[in-house]
Amino acid sequence: LPNKSKQPNLPPSPPRLPLIGNLHQLGALRHHSLRALSKEYGPIMLLKLGSIPTLVVSSAEHAREVMKTHDLDFCSRSPLIYPKRLSYDFLDVAFSPYNEYWREMRKICILELFSIKREEEVANMIKSISESSVSSSPVNLTSKGIESSKFEEFVFEALALLGIPTAADYFPRFGWIVDKFTGLNERLENIFHDLDVFYQQMIDEHLNPSRTKPEHEDIIDVLLGLAKIQSHCIPLTENHIKAILMNIFLAGVDSSAISMVWAMSELVRNQDAMRKAQEEIRLCIGNKGKVEESDLDQLSYLKMVSKETLRLHPPGVLEIPRETMRHCKRNGYDIYPKTRVLVNIWAIGRNPEYGENPEEFLPERFLNSYVDYKGQHFELLPFGAGRRGCPAITTGIANILLTLANFL
Ligand code: HEM
């Protein structure tokens, strides 16, 4: 007879179908479907998506357990197919599994890259917007700040692909055959090649001895400098540089751009908030004509607008999927190694337990509130938290505030 006490105690699960498990319960907007399921099965549930056991976390309390208290058990990344290819086999930070390599790369990025000020980039963006507003032509927010229209096309295609569920991510053994027939693999190879050529051109331009050196180094100069001196444990090759550029363009620039678009859309829909934000900015800068980073401390309403935007519309609705490192027990439940972990920060931000009228855009909810978005308050997690939390929070927030302030 089986020993009853040895039976694993698994988190609640919706009923499954053979082979596909719970896949049929996911609609096009996975975060919506998962929120609906969590209302029935609880804030910590175990799904089987294809052949992959997937733990779904949908409350601040459980997010704290996973991302802070027991962070070390949950801090690897699920080895997804497209990120693997686009990161030159996990030479990046965002998709790399948790290991010594990741620790070193993350350290390099925090020390050398994510502290770089982007004021010039923002200033150029403002200039081009003012030019188009003088000529009364409409402004496409998403097209500002990215180096060229061709590159923008590549970024959109790469992001579109990263957003499409691939069969291989749910059925690692035979899913690739399906992806081959649906043409996804070919699209992936094409975009990988396009991006690779683009990164290479940027690197070659920076290496060209006849290039006129700009006043300030940019990120590629910094990376090439690091590769030259090889002062870190990891010998940086061009592929390492390309993988980091992928993180900056896909994880960084795009999150900031999406947040800007949402903030502006919400302000257009909520004229009262728009008026308050504009008045605060005019009062702060007077006739200066441009908001600078040093002004940001005074813009408390604008900060509330950015928090409220990121609460309702976090760019990464389910975070970057994590993976458990080992067997562990949470709330008495057994969680096995190599379980994929999705934290539904979109649902957590809209949970009525953490604030009234959660579906409404109300920046004032943050007035006199202790809640911040830097990974300490688990009801608001747009940048994640813990070891795998966004290493560029400061840059990300400054970018959003500065650009938004100047738009307004
Ligand atoms: C509005 C702006 C941004 C938002 C909302 C955002 C959000 C996030 C989130 C949710 C994660 C996953 C956190 C987790 O798993 O706990 C993440 C990770 C990451 N972000 Fe950001 N991010 C932003 C800007 C940036 C920028 C500007 C950069 C780079 C220049 C950047 C680079 C990264 C990297 C490298 C990771 C992976 C960290 C790791 O796995 O160790 N992000 N970000």
Task: Check if 320 has its Cβ closer than 6 Å to any atom of ligand 1.
Answer: yes
Confidence of residue 252 (pLDDT cuts 50, 70, 90): confident
* pLDDT(338) > 80: yes
In ligand 1, which atom is closest to the CA atom of 96?
40
Complex ipTM: 0.98
- The rounded Å distance from CA 236 to ligand 1 centre is 21
CA-CA distance, 160 to 146, in Å (whole number)?
17
Record the tokens describing residue 408, joined without a space: 């307004």
Task: Check if 319 has its Cβ closer than 6 Å to any atom of ligand 1.
Answer: yes
Confidence of residue 146 (pLDDT cuts 50, 70, 90): very low
* pLDDT(262) > 60: yes
In ligand 1, which atom is closest to the CA atom of 314?
5
HEC per residue, the chain: CCCHHHCCCCCCCCCCECCCECHHHCCCCHHHHHHHHHHHHCCEEEEEECCEEEEEECCHHHHHHHHHHCHHHHCEECCCHHHHHHCCCCCCCCCCCCCHHHHHHHHHHHHHHCCCCCHHHHHHHHHHHHHHHHCCCCCCHHHCCCCCHHHHHHHHHHHHHHHCCCHHHHCCCCHHHHHHHCCHHHHHHHHHHHHHHHHHHHHHHHHCCCCCCCCCCCHHHHHHHHHHHCCCCCCCCHHHHHHHHHHHHHHHHHHHHHHHHHHHHHHHHCHHHHHHHHHHHHHHHCCCCCCCHHHHHHCHHHHHHHHHHHHHCCCCCCCCCEECCCCEEECCEEECCCCEEEECHHHHHCCHHHCCCCCCCCHHHHCCCCCCCCCCCCCCCCCCCHHHCCCCHHHHHHHHHHHHHHHC
- The rounded Å distance from CA 381 to ligand 1 centre is 11
| pTM recorded for the entire structure | 0.90
Closest among 399, 360, 392, 400 to 375, alpha carbons compared: 392
- The model's pLDDT over 181-208, given as tens digits with 9 standing for 90+, comes to 999 999 999 999 999 998 998 899 889 8
Q: Which residue has the tokens 């975070």?
A: 319
Specify the amino acid at residue 45: M
Using CA atoms in the order 357, 358, 359, 362, what is the torsion angle rounded to 10 degrees?
Answer: 80
Closest among 94, 93, 80, 28 to 52, alpha carbons compared: 80
Cβ atoms of residues 299 and 281 within 8 Å = yes
- The model's pLDDT over 22-45, given as tens digits with 9 standing for 90+, comes to 999 999 899 999 999 999 999 999
Q: Provide the pLDDT for residue 392.
A: 87
**What's the average model confidence in pLDDT over 265-276?**
97
Closest residue (by CA) to atom 40 of ligand 1?
A: 94
The half-sphere exposure of 128 on its side-chain side, counting CA atoms within 13 A, is: 15
In the chain, what are the domains?
Answer: 4-407 (1.10.630.10)
- The rounded Å distance from CA 223 to ligand 1 centre is 19
Closest residue (by CA) to atom 38 of ligand 1?
A: 94
Closest residue (by CA) to atom 17 of ligand 1?
A: 390
Closest residue (by CA) to atom 21 of ligand 1?
A: 390
CA-CA distance, 351 to 336, in Å (whole number)?
28
In ligand 1, which atom is closest to the CA atom of 247?
35
Task: Check if 83 has its Cβ closer than 6 Å to any atom of ligand 1.
Answer: no
Q: In sequence order, what are the beta bridge partners of 330?
A: 333
Q: Provide the pLDDT for residue 149.
A: 66
- Site to probe by mutation for ligand 1, drawn from 390, 397, 402 as the one with most ligand atoms within 8 Å of Cβ, is 390
Task: Check if 145 has its Cβ closer than 6 Å to any atom of ligand 1.
Answer: no
- The rounded Å distance from CA 5 to ligand 1 centre is 42
* pLDDT(308) > 70: yes
- The rounded Å distance from CA 250 to ligand 1 centre is 10
- The rounded Å distance from CA 373 to ligand 1 centre is 13
- The model's pLDDT over 86-144, given as tens digits with 9 standing for 90+, comes to 999 999 999 999 999 999 999 988 887 776 554 454 444 444 444 444 444 454 544 44
Closest residue (by CA) to atom 35 of ligand 1?
A: 94
Burial bucket for residue 11 (CB in 10 Å: 0-12, 13-18, 19+): buried
**What's the average model confidence in pLDDT over 165-169?**
92
Task: Check if 243 has its Cβ closer than 6 Å to any atom of ligand 1.
Answer: no
Task: Check if 270 has its Cβ closer than 6 Å to any atom of ligand 1.
Answer: no
Q: Is 75 annotated as a binding residue?
A: no
- The model's pLDDT over 47-95, given as tens digits with 9 standing for 90+, comes to 999 999 999 999 999 999 999 999 999 999 999 999 999 999 999 999 9
Closest residue (by CA) to atom 28 of ligand 1?
A: 252
Record the tokens describing residue 132, joined without a space: 């188009």
Cβ atoms of residues 75 and 323 within 8 Å = no
- The rounded Å distance from CA 390 to ligand 1 centre is 4
Task: Check if 400 has its Cβ closer than 6 Å to any atom of ligand 1.
Answer: yes
Task: Check if 63 has its Cβ closer than 6 Å to any atom of ligand 1.
Answer: no
- The rounded Å distance from CA 59 to ligand 1 centre is 21
Task: Check if 256 has its Cβ closer than 6 Å to any atom of ligand 1.
Answer: yes
- The rounded Å distance from CA 245 to ligand 1 centre is 13
